[in-house]
Chain A
Amino acid sequence: MSALILDKRQLAPEITWMEVVAPRIQKRWRAGQFIIIRPLEHSERIPLTIVGSNAERQSITMVIQAVGKTTREAVSLEPGDSLCDVVGPLGEPAEICAGERVLCMAGGVGVAELLPVARAYKEAGNTVVALCGARSDSYRILDAELRACCDEVHWATDDGSYGFHGNVVQLLLSLAGPGSFAEGHVIGPIPMMKAAAEATRGWGLKLHASLNPIMIDGTGMCGGCRVTVGGQVRFACVDGPCFDAHEVDFDEMARRNRAYRDLEQIALQHDCKLGLR
């Protein structure tokens, strides 16, 4: 169904927060689940994590990083406009343990996607340590929201303009080691999730990774989102999107996510020629 946009905020360069009316999804969603949107009548279908919701306004919120054609179309819409299609909540909720010291790790726009999981961990009575990565200080997002639900929040920036100078996995290694955490959750670019999985192998840490393969229907119908986990083929849209990070074949997933890179460039250039942006 179409969804009216209530509010929109720029969190960082190219990262937009958006609130839309979606009463049914607001009532049912759980941390870790996502929606599929089509911003305009003729847009592609793209998945986005549900970041939060507001019962009074019957709304859900999402955070969108404008990377290609469809995400740019989405963030070009204004309050008062509507997203053409929003369907959800999709996927299985994240597995949330109780009474543990948990690690929450994210990079880039993943920080937004991590927020509901961190909240759920906190509500279940865990001690939550968040490690977040950003390119530089101006790309840090949702810091206050995260601090409100975490016991500790640490930042790493690539250029050292805030917090730890380096990437978030280096930050992790500087702060923790085997036995530091019982469980954890990681969301971000594939190389970062892979590095986090490698770094924590043998730590006795159960690490969940929220995967972001290319999706079309999001209902288990096409098989396009398939990923290999522990040697088995799984459909991320219905079996996931969260899987055991230590079991995921990240290299295969990275390859599959690059499948249309050349064609995506053509799509963008085609738009430029038409003067759409």
Chain B
Amino acid sequence: MPAPPPKHKPNPKLPRQPLPLLDPERRRRTADEVALGYTAEQAQLEAQRCLQCQKPVCAEACPLHIDIKRFILRIVEGDFQGAHDVISEQSPFPGVCGRVCQHELFCESACVVGKRWDPVAIGSLERFAADHARLRMKELADSYPKPTGKKVALVGSGPASLIAAYDLVRLNYRVTVFEALHQLGGVMAYGIPNFRLPREILHEEIARLQNMGVEFVPDFIVGKTATIEDLFEEGYEAIFIGTGAGLPYLMGIPGENLIGVYTANEFLTRVNLMEAYKFPESPTPVRVGRHTVVVGGGNSAMDAARWAVRLGSDVTILYRRGRAELKARLEEIEHAEEEGVRFEFLAAPVALYGDENGYVREMECIRMELGEPDESGRRAPVPVPGSEFRIPAETVIAAIGQAPNPTLQKSTPQLVTRRGKIVINEWGETSIPKVFAGGDVVRGGSTVILAMKDGRAAARAIHEALSGAREAREEVKA
């Protein structure tokens, strides 16, 4: 018998361990991951800060309800693989969530230690557990019996569908994920940059689902390659729509179609999915001039700006509100600043001017001030008359939000939508029976973890609908 592990003495007063980062100068020249991750020593020091609360509010605040204190205890004990196993009970994506989740809004905002000191760095610990398991246990592919149950189709391979697949395959459903693009992962594959989420990590976490029996069909557009009706005819008994919000908004200003003016989606797809940062080793080019202006204040804006820095440009983010109103993850805003991205707050684009060959050269902007709160509760930016000014711009990237892609909706007109978003009821079900939806296609642009929360809820609803459990619950309610 090995000796029992020493009793854990929490020490919340220890300073929060900073996440080691790549030097900003190095970052500006590579696509390497920015955050280096904890060493085992740092992880164990940080893990010791956890109080192991009786009532772990962190797990409640986590949309996936990961058993946070238990996985942190495993790290304290040096059982890093065990930590990963605890997370796996709820989530197959610790490598992804540990990197892109907005922890400051969820688990870490609830953490009791944070009431007096800095909250436990739950995100960085999750990431540590994932990376440890990945490096040490790569050979041990999960082995699961092949599912034999009813067939369920999931449309789109973003986080909403991926977690639904994980839950459904564990309930023995035969799950097929259809994806329009040639690569899996949704925004995590085409939008979020490699330097935040290395592609191997995404691919490995998806491969794990494959090993469990989830079937993935890329290059398949539901609504085009086959319709929802076709899928039902082919024997799928329930369908989940997780098609995201991939339709970019345009700025609607003169000059928008000049060469060098991109939507964030096009720019990021070229660079991430088609690896334009390796051009000409990779086939897809991207055009980045000396001055890049990115319009917007969310994650897409930060990501586009930071890629443009790496591609050798001087980058300005133009945002119509102030710094406090930026919607991106805090960490990414700080990293962007460290990398030399300039911010022009309280300003909006008015027009773009090009040269005789149609290449964009200049942006005209106008100053804004914050007026009365609008329907979102935030103070609405109002243009200041006569405050126009011009800045050089050989590349312009519009990162001003997106709406759901209407392709599937168009082929299924009976699907009820509101402003492009699919409407669902309390069961997560759409206006078509046995068709469920969640993630950005329901919420509009949101976050990875909320998409996962929806996917998990949908998997439960699908199980209830297909196993007859839902009727039972409805009777109880009545």
Chain B residues with CB under 8 Å of A1's CB are: 217-220
User: Judging by beta carbons under 8 Å apart, are A45 and B358 in contact?
Assistant: no
Binary interface encoding of chain A residues 249-268 relative to chain B, with 1 for a CB under 8 A from any of its CBs, else 0: 00010011011100110110
Chain B residues with CB under 8 Å of A233's CB are: 250, 256-257
The answer to whether residues A270 and B265 also contact, given A45-B182, A87-B219, A252-B257 and a CB cut-off of 8 A, is no
Query: From B252, which residue of chain A is reached at the shortest CB distance?
Result: A233
B405 at the interface (CB under 8 A from A): yes
User: Judging by beta carbons under 8 Å apart, are B287 and A221 in contact?
Assistant: no
A85 at the interface (CB under 8 A from B): yes
User: Judging by beta carbons under 8 Å apart, are A87 and B221 in contact?
Assistant: yes
Query: From B280, which residue of chain A is reached at the shortest CB distance?
Result: A270
A223 to B265, CA, bound (A): 8
Count residues of A near B (Cβ-Cβ below 8 Å).
Answer: 41
A263 to B270, CA, bound (A): 14
One of A85, A219, A223 near B250 (C-beta < 8 A)? A223
Choose, from A36-44, A53-61, A131-139, A167-175, the stretch at the interface.
Answer: A36-44
The answer to whether residues A219 and B180 also contact, given A87-B220, A233-B256, A259-B259 and a CB cut-off of 8 A, is yes
User: Judging by beta carbons under 8 Å apart, are B266 and A86 in contact?
Assistant: no
B446 at the interface (CB under 8 A from A): no
User: Judging by beta carbons under 8 Å apart, are A220 and B407 in contact?
Assistant: yes
**Distance of A136 from chain B, by nearest CB (Å):** 31
A43 to B273, CA, bound (A): 11
Chain A residues with CB under 8 Å of B265's CB are: 221-223
The answer to whether residues A221 and B283 also contact, given A89-B224, A90-B224, A216-B266 and a CB cut-off of 8 A, is no
A241 at the interface (CB under 8 A from B): no
User: Judging by beta carbons under 8 Å apart, are B266 and A24 in contact?
Assistant: no
User: Judging by beta carbons under 8 Å apart, are B405 and A25 in contact?
Assistant: no
The answer to whether residues A87 and B225 also contact, given A42-B283, A223-B265, A228-B257 and a CB cut-off of 8 A, is yes
Chain B residues with CB under 8 Å of A38's CB are: 182
Query: From B266, which residue of chain A is reached at the shortest CB distance?
Result: A222
One of B246, B262, B284, B357 near A221 (C-beta < 8 A)? B246
Query: From A25, which residue of chain B is reached at the shortest CB distance?
Result: B225
| A interface secondary structure, majority | mixed
Count residues of B near A (Cβ-Cβ below 8 Å).
Answer: 40
A24 to B231, CA, bound (A): 12
The answer to whether residues A70 and B283 also contact, given A87-B225, A223-B266 and a CB cut-off of 8 A, is yes
One of B224, B263, B407 near A222 (C-beta < 8 A)? B263
A70 to B282, CA, bound (A): 11
User: Judging by beta carbons under 8 Å apart, are B217 and A221 in contact?
Assistant: no
B36 at the interface (CB under 8 A from A): no
**Distance of A24 from chain B, by nearest CB (Å):** 5
A238 at the interface (CB under 8 A from B): yes
User: Judging by beta carbons under 8 Å apart, are A44 and B225 in contact?
Assistant: no
User: Judging by beta carbons under 8 Å apart, are B284 and A238 in contact?
Assistant: no
User: Judging by beta carbons under 8 Å apart, are B257 and A87 in contact?
Assistant: no
User: Judging by beta carbons under 8 Å apart, are B358 and A256 in contact?
Assistant: yes
**Distance of A251 from chain B, by nearest CB (Å):** 9
B281 at the interface (CB under 8 A from A): yes
User: Judging by beta carbons under 8 Å apart, are A219 and B269 in contact?
Assistant: no
Instruction: Find residues 1-59 in chain A having any chain B CB closer than 8 Å to their own CB.
Output: 1, 24-25, 28, 38, 42-45
Chain B residues with CB under 8 Å of A44's CB are: 274, 283-284
The answer to whether residues A24 and B250 also contact, given A69-B283, A255-B358 and a CB cut-off of 8 A, is no
Instruction: Find residues 234-264 in chain B having any chain A CB closer than 8 Å to their own CB.
Output: 246-248, 250, 256-257, 259-260, 262-263
Most-contacted residue by chain A among B256, B263, B266 (CB, 10 A): B266
Chain B residues with CB under 8 Å of A25's CB are: 225
A220 to B217, CA, bound (A): 20
A133 to B400, CA, bound (A): 44
A70 to B279, CA, bound (A): 14
Chain B residues with CB under 8 Å of A252's CB are: 257, 358
B14 at the interface (CB under 8 A from A): no
The answer to whether residues A28 and B225 also contact, given A86-B219, A223-B265, A256-B358 and a CB cut-off of 8 A, is yes
B298 at the interface (CB under 8 A from A): no
User: Judging by beta carbons under 8 Å apart, are A221 and B269 in contact?
Assistant: yes
User: Judging by beta carbons under 8 Å apart, are A221 and B182 in contact?
Assistant: no
Query: From A264, which residue of chain B is reached at the shortest CB distance?
Result: B285
Chain B residues with CB under 8 Å of A228's CB are: 257
One of B217, B218, B220, B269 near A216 (C-beta < 8 A)? B269
A42 to B242, CA, bound (A): 27
A121 to B284, CA, bound (A): 37
Query: From A251, which residue of chain B is reached at the shortest CB distance?
Result: B358
A258 to B356, CA, bound (A): 13
B340 at the interface (CB under 8 A from A): no
A222 to B269, CA, bound (A): 7
User: Judging by beta carbons under 8 Å apart, are A263 and B287 in contact?
Assistant: yes
A217 at the interface (CB under 8 A from B): yes
User: Judging by beta carbons under 8 Å apart, are B263 and A267 in contact?
Assistant: no
B351 at the interface (CB under 8 A from A): no
User: Judging by beta carbons under 8 Å apart, are A87 and B226 in contact?
Assistant: no
Query: From B275, which residue of chain A is reached at the shortest CB distance?
Result: A42
**Distance of B270 from chain A, by nearest CB (Å):** 7
One of B224, B246, B269 near A88 (C-beta < 8 A)? B224
User: Judging by beta carbons under 8 Å apart, are B283 and A267 in contact?
Assistant: yes
B19 at the interface (CB under 8 A from A): no
A160 at the interface (CB under 8 A from B): no
**Distance of B417 from chain A, by nearest CB (Å):** 15
A252 to B358, CA, bound (A): 8
**Distance of A69 from chain B, by nearest CB (Å):** 6
A224 to B270, CA, bound (A): 10
B78 at the interface (CB under 8 A from A): no
User: Judging by beta carbons under 8 Å apart, are B247 and A260 in contact?
Assistant: no
Query: From A44, which residue of chain B is reached at the shortest CB distance?
Result: B283
A69 to B181, CA, bound (A): 21
One of A43, A85, A221, A264 near B219 (C-beta < 8 A)? A85
> Would you list the 9 A-B pairs with minimal beta carbon distance, nearest first?
A255-B358, A222-B266, A263-B285, A270-B280, A87-B219, A44-B283, A221-B246, A223-B263, A259-B259
A residues adjacent to B (C-beta < 8 A): 1, 24-25, 28, 38, 42-45, 69-70, 84-90, 216-217, 219-224, 226, 228, 233, 238, 252, 255-256, 258-260, 263-264, 266-267, 270
List 21 interface pairs A-B (beta carbons < 8 Å), by A numbering: A1-B217, A24-B220, A25-B225, A45-B274, A87-B225, A88-B225, A217-B181, A217-B269, A219-B181, A219-B221, A219-B246, A222-B266, A223-B265, A224-B263, A226-B257, A260-B287, A263-B287, A266-B279, A267-B279, A267-B285, A270-B281
